[in-house]
Amino acid sequence: MPASSDETGDREAASDSNSDADSGTDREITLLGIHDSVGNVFPPAELADELAELPVPVEVVDTDDSSKCDAIVTRDYHDVFLDLEWVHSIQAGVDRFPFDEFEANDVTLTNSTGIHDRTVGETVAGYLLAFSRRLHTAIAAQQDRRWDRPAWDEAFTLPGKTACVLGTGTLGSGVADTLGSLGVHVTGVRRSGDPVPGFEEVYPTEDRHTAVADADFVIITLPLTDDTHHLADAEFFDAMRDDAYFVNVGRGSIVDEPALVDALESNSIEGAGLDVFETEPLPEESPLWEMDEVIITPHCAAFTVDYFRDVGGLVRENVEHLRNGEELTNRVV
């Protein structure tokens, strides 16, 4: 199971680690497709227009038409892509792509690592501000036209609070930078435990329970790998303070969702801000929908009106690298 953001299985670092390998950059691209699955995030035509000045033709395609392309920009994976030269994921996460099959078929895979730091950081800050200023309860009350003020001891401010971020790569660093500007003390968890700029202290992954024990907010920005699958389990939530909030903007399967539900229902933790889930869309029967101290967003933490421009910048850069026989930026496979 490959990755999403950066760190403990660190798919972003894996991209960098390929720099000494055969880059496969001696390939000629004659048609670049924009797969219609990017429409889940932005209109495909916007990206096609953004890339209209490339020295290769650009065309919006569906899955059936993908075979006529040499390269494709996509959100989703389809088996027909194994016949292409180059696939670019508009997301940092590439756990939906079959690495072994890409390698066996000599398909280059790149991702959009590096463009989501600020957007995800601001989304996380939004969760924290909502919880601290009780905005989520005010919005809920508004739907019923209720004039309900928070209790005198419910609201708080962020300066001096502590956030522990599991994952210190692009997403985690973006979260640390945004929260640091709000006066939050930020610690981190990464595989090595080595220091990272922007984090006041960094713990190795095996010490994650110690790391989260004193945090007001625990934030997941990790990729999904074999090592991170269900990393946040019952023992993990037991290690958190009962007044702490949990946030996940990494991947849903990093969290043992039933264990999270149990922790919330038993008041072992205070609440949660959740952008990603093990099953998406989140099933209607999930108890998470009706919990007062849970904020749910539909896997959109990185969304911005400039998303297609940010992706376009990476694609444009890599088309130039291909023409020059240079290593591709953010190459994963």
- Is 103 among the catalytic positions? no
The CA-atom distances, in angstroms, between 258 and each of 90, 255, 262, 287, 288 are 30, 9, 6, 10, 10
Structure tokens at 243: 């007044």
Torsion of CA 5, 295, 307, 191, to 10 degrees: -10
Distance, C-alpha 288 to centroid of its chain:
20
Residues 251, 257, 270, 331: which is the catalytic one? 251
- Is 299 among the catalytic positions? yes
Q: Among 317, 310, 329, 249, which residue's Cα sits nearest to residue 38?
A: 310
323: left (phi over 0), alpha (psi -120 to 50) or beta: alpha
End-to-end CA distance of the chain: 14
61-84: burial string, b at 16+ Cβ within 10 Å, e else: bebeebeebbbbbbbebeeebeeb
- Is 154 among the catalytic positions? no
Residues 11, 134, 136, 299: which is the catalytic one? 299
Distance CA 60, CA 80 (A): 16
Give the contacts of 263 (CB within 8 A, at least 6 positions apart): 234, 237, 238, 240, 246, 269
Give the contacts of 117 (CB within 8 A, at least 6 positions apart): 170, 171, 173, 174, 177
Residues 200, 265, 280, 320: which is the catalytic one? 280
Distance CA 240, CA 218 (A): 8
Name residue, tokens 């065309």: 59
DSSP class of 283: P
- Please list the active-site residues: 251, 280, 299
